[in-house]
Structure 1
């Protein structure tokens, strides 16, 4: 069998993507650079994380897969700094699909999430959770979609990713760290764990462009706690008691009552 080897022309290093049609050029990026997001990006509120992400923040029009060693421990501390911008429009909402614990309205209010801007979808089982997430993405929800889908299969995630390309809102999927063994169509994958004191350790497992091996150390104490927590507790021992989810944002019955929808279909 004869095989023909194809090589790039020597002049390819000087290739100018902007010689292509504009809509094509915007989608082209080199493997050695950080590619831009498909849509706009929203600042994460962490300068170090923004600098490492394509476009300088959380992408819209695509999935962000957050891998966790333990659910209901790091989610809100990672996303809290971006919430004010997400909810600046009074019609925007945060949609929670199958969170592992009941949201606590008072705790979330401390993070800037008013009860009337939060919808908790109490999906029963993996199939309902996946269906609810898909419907929210297809509805082009304004705000953000946060879905806990520990058992989603690659082909199911692929369908969500295709749909998220037409949704101009961040879509976060929270999954166990063991899912890292499986391929994912999500353009952004992060592993997040507790660091020292109030910090978070973030590893970018996948992004558009060159890989990154550094572990990002993020100071994740919410700004509203700096005036409440005594200075001696700003830095906890490396192996001391770790702060739990801020104000039990996930983990207690919702008070006052949050909009809650039980999925049956």
Structure 2
């Protein structure tokens, strides 16, 4: 029996490969660039953390939401108008609440470009979503699939690879405990004031362990709110903390008139 001694193992250098081969090599420490078209989210900080700089097409994106909150529209709203150009439509499969045509119109989604698919049973929801993806939709697809299993999401991911529209699966945040073939998973909860707290538990490339705080004031209100209501944390909490500090320094309790003035901020 003979043994061959191997030389020292050197770090792999993709740059040493031929050009086309090196371009196809992805290292896990890098955030993978998008191979398909992406759509800007409307939030610069979020775009900076997504491969390709926006919501991906030809792939499934999971939105993980608290069951008691309905904040998917505040997250997706800024991206919708651009998706409706050239005759695009927003396809809704079994939304948790009936879509409010007036509210969506204020987000830039006219009722004529909204398709609502009513489905109750989990298999009906999956079937309807598959049929839409296979039809090559233009616009965006939103499907509420709280009970989807990993193998079912994998099937949707396969169909989405030939779809040039973003595909969003709205699921409860508890689904994060399960593995998922979706290449992008985004969790969102409501923060104070108009803030959305967003984390990205899964994306192509290196992990993102931080929390993004996105100011998500609806566009129809942004120009109507007075400055002091646009960011309550900066205009209410700071003066309130200062006045309470002054009260403590004086060693007395605020008089009724002062209390009324504080509440009026």
Provide TM-score, normalisation by structure 2.
0.81
Q: 1:17 to 1:125 in 2, by over 3 A?
A: farther
Distance across 1 between alignment mates of 2:16 and 2:210: 30
Match of 1:232 among 228, 231, 240: 228
Match of 2:131 among 110, 135, 154: 135
Q: 1:97 to 1:163 in 2, by over 3 A?
A: same
Where does 1:184-203 land on structure 2 (aligned, <5 Å)?
A: 184-203=180-199
Deviates further, 154-163 or 31-40:
31-40
Q: 1:70 to 1:17 in 2, by over 3 A?
A: farther
Superposition RMSD in Å: 2.3
Q: Hey, what does 1:156 align to over in structure 2? A: 152
Q: 1:8 to 1:126 in 2, by over 3 A?
A: farther
Structure (1 or 2) with the larger CA radius of gyration: 2
Distance across 1 between alignment mates of 2:154 and 2:223: 44
Shift of 1:237: 5.6
Distance across 2 between alignment mates of 1:144 and 1:202: 21
For these two proteins, the number of residue pairs brought into alignment is: 230
* 1:126 paired to 2:122: yes
Secondary structure of 2:162's aligned partner: coil
Secondary structure of 1:34's aligned partner: coil
Distance across 2 between alignment mates of 1:44 and 1:189: 14
Match of 1:32 among 11, 29, 34: 29
Secondary structure of 2:228's aligned partner: helix
* 1:15 paired to 2:12: no
Q: Hey, what does 1:183 align to over in structure 2? A: 179
The answer on whether the counterparts of 1:38 and 1:61 sit within 8 Å (CA) in structure 2 is no
Q: 1:117 to 1:31 in 2, by over 3 A?
A: same
Q: 1:110 to 1:16 in 2, by over 3 A?
A: farther
Q: Any runs of at least 4 consecutive aligned residues in structure 1 with deviations exceeding 6 A, and if so which?
A: none
Gapped regions of structure 2 (runs ≥ 5): 1-5, 237-265
Q: 1:162 to 1:11 in 2, by over 3 A?
A: same
Distance across 2 between alignment mates of 1:199 and 1:165: 32
* 1:212 paired to 2:208: yes
Shift of 1:147: 0.4
The answer on whether the counterparts of 1:67 and 1:192 sit within 8 Å (CA) in structure 2 is yes
Distance across 2 between alignment mates of 1:114 and 1:223: 15
Which structure has greater helix proportion? Answer: 2
Q: Hey, what does 2:65 align to over in structure 1? A: 68
Q: Hey, what does 1:257 align to over in structure 2? A: none
The answer on whether the counterparts of 2:107 and 2:219 sit within 8 Å (CA) in structure 1 is no
Match of 1:83 among 80, 88, 94: 80
Distance across 1 between alignment mates of 2:232 and 2:189: 16
The answer on whether the counterparts of 2:62 and 2:185 sit within 8 Å (CA) in structure 1 is yes
Map Cα deviations across residues 117-156 of structure 1 (whole Å, 9 max, x no partner). Answer: 0000011211111100111111111000000000000000
Q: 1:145 to 1:16 in 2, by over 3 A?
A: farther
Q: 1:72 to 1:102 in 2, by over 3 A?
A: farther
* 1:52 paired to 2:42: no
